[in-house]
């Protein structure tokens, strides 16, 4: 069992939302004077489980944070992991009240204040919070994409397909799943032109997951349009949104977003329900009134016909599409994750089937 360093003295902290609501707690990690406490993170951290080179979160808000790591695979505690990566964690927050508030008011910008400011009147801090940029119109992909092309660290036992992956913030498990399906993967920065992605005649192109507003990533829609019909495409999460926008869809900021590992998604062709993992704040759509549909829908676009293949059973939002005239499809959720646990792995098989010679 791994235990933390037991640092003494937990500085006071306060979370202030853009609407003025405040939540008082203490700073328990990401600070040299932090002392972790109890619950969240009790497995600890292991580099083999990292989905990226570093965490991109600006902070963590919890009721309790575990100061021990109970997993035999853990190499450090979660608080130590956060401290090493400079991610502050607030504990002692009434997360039930926070959740209930956001359910009504919607997701919004928040600010974390420590030291003397933590004891200030929240009304004196809210203007600072409102000055911070929101997710809408902000290109977060530029902060997480790779700097240059590189080979995936996960190699297939037998190479059957060569895949070029556009990195909008790719999870490492996607690279592992592709390797398991015989794909030799080269990873490219998000702004890579289509002509470079097509160089070397890849068997397919993957549009990866990533953060933020799909409409705020400059130039990528044009490059995806240039790929359509030239090579099989598979998009996941942000990649799904960018493919959809390239085909003529529109995007909208969701009031709460879809986060977590228990979202039911209906496959409109088979009637089967998949339990999915999701993490996005935006959604895309092709037409008014589409959320009321319970069967497959087809939309005519300038680039061909697009069929809606999946819908969220909680709110009816679009969860998957496929092009009927060119080899391309995408899903809003994360098929590489395992909440089902294997409900959506067939999508990787579908991708390699698209790459089979005809």
Q: Please, what sign has the CA dihedral across residues 90, 94, 95, 99? A: negative
Going from the C-alpha of 19 to that of each of 59, 132, 222, the distances in angstroms are 19, 13, 37
Asked about 237 being catalytic, the answer comes back as: yes
Give the whole-angstrom CA distance, residue 34 versus residue 62: 14
Give the whole-angstrom CA distance, residue 320 versus residue 169: 19
Identify the CA nearest to 205 among candidates 166, 244, 237. Answer: 166
Question: Of 258, 280, 310, 334, which residue is the catalytic one?
Answer: 334
Asked about 119 being catalytic, the answer comes back as: no
Compute, in degrees rounded to 10, the torsion defined by CA atoms 150, 154, 160, 162: -20
Question: Of 31, 164, 237, 323, which residue is the catalytic one?
Answer: 237
Question: Of 35, 76, 223, 336, which residue is the catalytic one?
Answer: 336
| CA 249 distance to own-chain centroid | 20
SS3 content of the chain, % helix, strand, coil (to 5): 25, 30, 45
Q: How many CB atoms lie within 10 A of CB 305?
A: 14
- Where would I find the beta strands (DSSP E) of 168-222? 183-189, 204-207
Q: Where are the alpha helices (DSSP H) in 211-355?
A: 220-227, 238-246, 346-355
Asked about 146 being catalytic, the answer comes back as: no
Tokens of 129: 């919070």
Catalytic amino acids? 237, 334, 336
């Amino acid at each position: 069992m791994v235990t933390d360093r037991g640092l003494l003295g937990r500085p006071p902290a306060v979370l202030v939302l853009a609407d003025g609501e405040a939540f008082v707690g203490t700073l328990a990690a990401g600070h040299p004077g932090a002392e972790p406490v109890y619950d969240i993170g009790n497995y600890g951290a292991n580099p083999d489980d990292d989905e990226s080179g570093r965490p991109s979160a600006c902070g963590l808000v919890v009721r309790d944070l575990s100061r021990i790591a109970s997993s035999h695979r853990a190499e450090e505690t979660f608080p130590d992991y956060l401290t090493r990566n400079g991610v502050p964690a607030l504990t002692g927050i009434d997360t039930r009240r926070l959740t209930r508030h956001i359910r009504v008011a919607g997701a919004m910008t928040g600010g974390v204040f420590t030291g003397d400011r933590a004891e200030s009147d929240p009304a004196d801090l809210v203007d600072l919070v409102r000055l911070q940029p929101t997710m809408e119109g902000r290109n977060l992909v530029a902060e997480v994409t790779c700097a240059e092309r590189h080979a995936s660290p996960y190699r297939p036992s037998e190479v059957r397909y060569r895949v070029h992956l556009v990195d909008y913030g790719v999870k490492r498990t996607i690279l592992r799943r592709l390797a398991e399906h015989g794909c030799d993967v080269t990873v490219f920065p998000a702004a890579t032109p289509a002509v470079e992605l097509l160089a070397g005649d890849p068997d397919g192109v993957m549009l990866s997951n990533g953060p933020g507003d799909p409409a705020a990533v400059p130039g990528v829609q044009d490059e995806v349009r240039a790929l359509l019909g030239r090579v099989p495409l598979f998009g996941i999460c942000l990649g799904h949104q960018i493919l959809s926008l390239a085909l003529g869809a529109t995007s909208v900021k969701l009031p709460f977003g879809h986060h977590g590992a228990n979202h039911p998604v209906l496959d409109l062709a088979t009637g089967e329900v998949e339990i999915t993992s999701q993490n996005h704040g935006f959604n895309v759509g092709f037409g008014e009134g589409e959320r009321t549909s319970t069967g497959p829908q087809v939309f005519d676009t300038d680039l061909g016909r697009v069929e809606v293949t999946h819908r969220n059973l909680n709110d009816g939002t679009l969860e998957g599409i496929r092009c009927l005239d060119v080899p391309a499809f995408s899903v809003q959720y994360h098929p590489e994750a395992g909440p089902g646990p294997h409900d959506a792995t067939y999508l990787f098989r579908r991708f390699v089937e698209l790459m089979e010679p005809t």
